[in-house]
Structure 1
Amino acid sequence: MEPGARRILVVEDELTIAEAVAARLRAEGFAVDLAHDGPSAVTAFEATEPDLVVLDVMLPGFDGLEVCRRIQSKRPVPVLMVTARADETDLLVGLGVGADDYLTKPFSIRELAARVHALLRRVERATQTDHDESRIVLGDLEIDTTERRVSRAGVAAQLTPMEFDLLVHLARRPRAVQPRERLLAELWSWSDASGTRAVDSHIKALRRKLGADLIRTVHGVGYALEVAK
């Protein structure tokens, strides 16, 4: 592990999987902490202040959805959610409570590591870009990219890291239609369209938090920010 390495919290109750994930991430230079149930995950999050959380949905104590709600209310952090169920409702609920990306079991450790790298690269890109344009104002929508704050009509909204980055991405091209595939490639680093549910779920969350009229759906294509100048 290199000095100043990014810290990852892995929350998984199946010890074999947890140790395999931790070993791979440590081999790639990350500092890794483990938790095996809901309560200890929240405690570990507060103690270690990770840069990213790998979070299983099915946990003893309380489940990963509740863990995600609690940690996101304390400090926005990228979350890669892992679920044994491929049910679309479960995945959308996970994304709705603040997860940024998801994997369905069984998954390859290599794919999980790639997703972790992609999420961290997105955060780094967003931070670098923030210095170029620290404040975006579109009508009654105000975005402070340096402090990662957003408000509409003076009312502050708490966004997850992915929701914030998606909003900024759309706000930098107001009224321009952004295809789902482009959003997946630029924000999630996905090379195919298999994750369109993730885009749709985060758009739904932005509408819920900032107003249903904020983002226009272009059916079969993508989305556009529609705040008046």
Structure 2
Amino acid sequence: MATVLLVEDDQMVRDALVRALRGQGHVVHPVGTALDALRQTAEHEPDLVILDLGLPDLDGAAALRMLRGHSDVPVIVATARGDEPSIVRLLNDGADDYVVKPFSSAQLAARMNALLRRSSRSSVGSSDPGELNVGELTISLTTRQAALAGRPLELSRREFDLLAYLAEHVGRVVSRRELVEAVWHEHPFVGHDQTIDVHMSWLRRKLGESASRPRYLRTVRGVGLKLVEPD
């Protein structure tokens, strides 16, 4: 059972989803505007947010970016557009997953359960002791914090998990398939390469590097990725 914030302005859709989610045992708090959603997450952070993009008071993508300014809560975005550029933008804005309209309650439930399982496993992993050091990069598995040359890095939950896994296998090329299974806790899926590349791009920016001028994160074309000691 999870506490779910459902952000949907269409009353009929909202009522149907509330019935379906409560029927699965979840506690659901439905709201119809972006401002109500931001207020709710600030006061009582839920376990998961389902965010419709077509909101009356604020563009859903803008609401997502504002939400990411104060919360790392898992977010599934409901969008009417399933084209690749739109999905990439949503992932860049901070979405953890998405469903394309029209979608069934069964599909939404499956994505919710997968995301909640990943979040649960990340929380369990946070109690593992240990500190990883690669060059000037320090990663604490205990506190789930990372720093570069003593400067704290503001990483999302997924970014930290990805960086920590690569650091645990420093110097070894890790395939994208392995990352999907170990970090996302899913079987490889269509588009997983794109999802990983988006998160790697975020990590590179926060580490002060780029794909053309890497220091820590290296791409081995056709094989996978690895974290290395900088030259």
Please, what TM-score do these two structures have when normalized by structure 2? 0.87
Among 35, 40, 53, the alignment partner of 1:39 is 35
Q: Specify every segment of 5 or more residues in structure 2 that has no aligned partner in the other structure, as ranges.
A: none
Correspondence for 1:204 among 197, 201, 206: 201
Matched, 1:222 2:218: no
The answer to whether the aligner puts 1:184 opposite 2:185 as a matched pair is: no
Residue in structure 2 matching 1:9, options 5, 16, 22: 5
RMSD (CA atoms): 2.1
- Candidates 59, 81, 84, aligned match of 2:77: 81
Label 1:104 to 1:73 Cα distance change in 2 as closer, same or farther (>3 A): same
Secondary structure in structure 1 of the residue aligned to 2:189: coil
Could you tell me which residue of structure 1 aligns to residue 57 of structure 2? 61
Distance 1:139 1:187, change over 3 A: same
- Give the Cα–Cα distance (whole angstroms) in 2 for the partners of residues 227 and 107 of structure 1: 45
Letter in 1 for 2:221: H
Moved over 6 A (4+): none
Q: Secondary structure at the match of 2:69?
A: helix
Out of 109, 115, 129, the position equivalent to 1:113 is 109
Taking a change above 3 Å as real, the CA distance of residues 82 and 218 of structure 1, as seen in their structure-2 partners, is: farther
1: CA distance between counterparts of 2:202 and 2:145?
A: 16
1:164 aligns with 2:160: yes
User: Does structure 2 retain, via aligned residues, the 8 Å contact 1:37–1:60?
Assistant: yes
Which of 11, 20, 24 is equivalent to 1:28? 24
8 A Cα contact 2:45 2:73, kept in partner: no
* Structure with bigger gyration radius: 2
Between the two proteins, the alignment pairs up a number of residues equal to 225
Q: Distance in 1 between matches of 2:203 and 2:220?
A: 16
* CA offset digits 1:137-172 (Å, max 9, x no partner): 221111223332222122222122222222222222
Q: CA separation of 1:157/1:119 partners in 2, compared to 1, >3 Å: closer, same or farther? A: same
Give the aligned residue type for 1:129.
G
User: 1:86: how far off?
Assistant: 1.3
* Cα distance in 2 for residues equivalent to 1:178 and 1:108: 35
Distance in 1 of aligned mates of 2:18 and 2:229: 44
How many angstroms does 1:185 deviate by? 2.8
Q: Secondary structure of 2:183's partner?
A: helix
Q: Aligned residue for 1:125?
A: 121
Quote the offset at 1:204 in angstroms: 0.9
Task: Give the percent of matched residue pairs that are identical in Structure 1 and Structure 2.
Answer: 38
**In structure 2, what is the Cα distance between the partners aligned to 1:7 and 1:131?**
23
Deviation at 1:228, TM superposition (A): 4.3
Q: How far has the Cα of 1:42 moved from its partner?
A: 0.5
Residue pair 1:174, 1:226 contacting (<8 A) in 2 also: yes
Identify if the C-alpha distance between structure 1 residues 110 and 189 changes in structure 2 by more than 3 Å, giving closer, same or farther. farther
Name structure 1 gaps, 5 residues minimum. Answer: none
Amino acid at match of 1:221: V
Q: CA distance change for structure 1 residues 221 and 109 in 2, over 3 Å: closer, same or farther?
A: farther
Q: 1:185 to 1:151 in 2, by over 3 A?
A: same
Please report how far the alpha carbon of residue 102 of structure 1 lies from its aligned counterpart in structure 2 after TM superposition. Answer: 1.8
Larger CA deviation: 129-138 vs 48-57: 129-138
Given candidates 86, 89, 100, the residue that maps to 1:90 is: 86
